[in-house]
Amino acid sequence: MDQLVAPTPQPACGASGEQNVDVLGQPCFRQPAPIAYDVPMTPPISPGHSENGSRGALRVDQDMEPDCQQETPCSTSTAADSGGARDSLECCFTHEQHPPTPPNKPPRLLEDEPVGLAEPGVLKLSDFEVRGTLGTGTFGRVLLVRLKTITPGYHSIFAMKVLRKSEVVRLRQVEHVNAERHILSRLRHPFVVDLFATFQDSLNIYMLMSYVPGGELFTHLRRARRFTPDVTRFYLANIILALKYLHSFNVIYRDLKPENLLLDPCGYLCLTDFGFAKVVDDRTWTLCGTPEYLAPEIILSEGHGKAVDWWACGILCYEMLVGYPPFFDETPYGIYDKILNGNVHWPRSVDRLSQELIQAFLRPDRSKRLGNMIGGPQDVLEHPWFRGVDWDALERREIKAPIIPHTTSLDDTRHFLHLPFPSLHDMPGLLAEEDSPPLHKSLQFPDF
């Protein structure tokens, strides 16, 4: 087994060797890289996926706590955060009463972290020009934008997440949108997308984020058909460090999948789309996620916490090694049945130690699930499958990534879908500064 070891520290992967800073003047984790190789395009059609690479997802529009007494019909929607269009199913179910349990205080409080957003008045929507569309969804889209006034040494290319207020309210996503802003504004980690500023106009709310040009891990996995254990180990180690950081604040992510993992110019992963992230000190009953990645406790409405992210690590590890997830079917309910039965088919290409790691993540008993036992994330770091990984060097980004996306400029969009240019009339704040946006009281976005 090849090892991930730390080489002699290299200069930051910017072309000039100088450290770049973000729009706020802070050191930036993700920096430009020179042109590198790309993976040959030979994608198979994995089971459970459509021709265009979309995967059906189960998503909820409201956190259903134990006292929820209503049931709403199911309807379809689509997530908006990257180039991959994904059908979604939004549902609300009735749950039985559960006795409260004492909350588990995190080692770090998210509220104690500094808010890393631009101060009001420093940036305006009209300071940006739109360069293209990176992705679309039910109540929003993601744009590639450029800061009109370029300051040497500062980043000028960003991703702008645009959410239509009326749709956010109609789909009852207000709490999720507010939580996404609250969480992302306080997180700063090499493997988590950065949020720099938020805005609003009369129609939309806007989130200014770092642009990660390497595209989705899902796209690169489809090109390669499947990854070797060493490539899988590199990417899974990225994710584990990101989850360890999130869980230190009692933040659960709940939407881990290759489509939400972007490659930065140096080939490291960046976790994006925090629409379902939530601070959970004990349990929550939210029904959300992608069917193939749902943990049994979510399906059984038993209440869930951090353990669901570790279950998803097992599903993701299998998908990277095999090319498709372990539980797939034509319908979500067929997937749920297979998840609860727990029968995993092991191709001969999956070695014994990899099987042991995946099985440790996929334990239905949360008290015995790797990452959720007494040792917490440290148990994952010390698992024999990761023997030889220099975790500190990996977090410092001193290890060469196995796939370095081919890019020629900071605004290169070749790894995203080629979508039509947006109609700026639907985004009045980007066309011209509104004197006094007529914010509707029911929209409840006071912090944007």
Q: How far apart are CA 200 and CA 217, in angstroms?
A: 31
pLDDT score of 80 more than 80 = no
pLDDT at 445: 76
Let me know: does 240 contact 377? Beta carbons within 8 Å.
yes
The pTM score is 0.81
What single letter denotes the amino acid at residue 2? D
For 65, residues 6+ apart whose C-beta sits below 8 A from its C-beta are 95, 284, 285
Chain segment 249-295, per-residue pLDDT in tens? 999 999 999 999 999 999 999 999 999 999 999 899 988 899 999 99
Let me know: does 304 contact 283? Beta carbons within 8 Å.
yes
CATH number of 111-212+408-428: 3.30.200.20
Residues 400-409: what's their mean pLDDT? 92
- Locate the domains of the chain by residue range: 111-212+408-428, 216-395
Residues 337-349: what's their mean pLDDT? 96
Chain centroid offset of residue 339 CA: 22
Q: Output 39 or 242, whichever has higher pLDDT.
A: 242
For 248, residues 6+ apart whose C-beta sits below 8 A from its C-beta are 106, 107, 108
Q: Which value, to the nearest 10 degrees, does the dihedral of the CA atoms of residues 430, 76, 416, 174 take?
A: 40
Report residue 221 as tokens.
């996995």
pLDDT at 58: 55
Q: Output 362 or 173, whichever has higher pLDDT.
A: 362
Q: How far apart are CA 211 and CA 157, in angstroms?
A: 7
pLDDT at 8: 35
Q: How far apart are CA 42 and CA 27, in angstroms?
A: 38
Domain covering 216-395, topology: Transferase(Phosphotransferase); domain 1 (1.10.510)
Which stretches of 17-173 are DSSP H helices? 165-170
pLDDT score of 1 more than 60 = no
Residue 441, marked binder:
no
Q: How far apart are CA 254 and CA 78, in angstroms?
A: 16
Of the candidate ranges 135-139, 283-287, 414-418, the one whose mean pLDDT is the lowest? 135-139
In DSSP terms, 135 is beta-bridged to 142
Chain segment 110-131, per-residue pLDDT in tens? 988 999 998 888 899 999 999 9
pLDDT at 101: 52
In this prediction, residue 356 has a pLDDT band, given cuts at 50, 70 and 90, of very high
Q: Output 445 or 437, whichever has higher pLDDT.
A: 445
Q: How far apart are CA 439 and CA 350, in angstroms?
A: 55
Largest CA distance in the chain: 64
Chain segment 15-42, per-residue pLDDT in tens? 333 444 444 455 444 333 322 333 322 2
Q: Output 408 or 434, whichever has higher pLDDT.
A: 408
For 411, residues 6+ apart whose C-beta sits below 8 A from its C-beta are 131, 144, 146, 157, 211, 213
Per the residue annotation, which of 61, 81, 255, 264 is the catalytic one? 255
The conformation of residue 232, written as its DSSP 8-state character, comes to H
pLDDT at 153: 63
pLDDT at 129: 94
Which stretches of 185-228 are DSSP H helices? 217-224
In this prediction, residue 84 has a pLDDT band, given cuts at 50, 70 and 90, of very low
Does residue 255 carry a catalytic annotation? yes
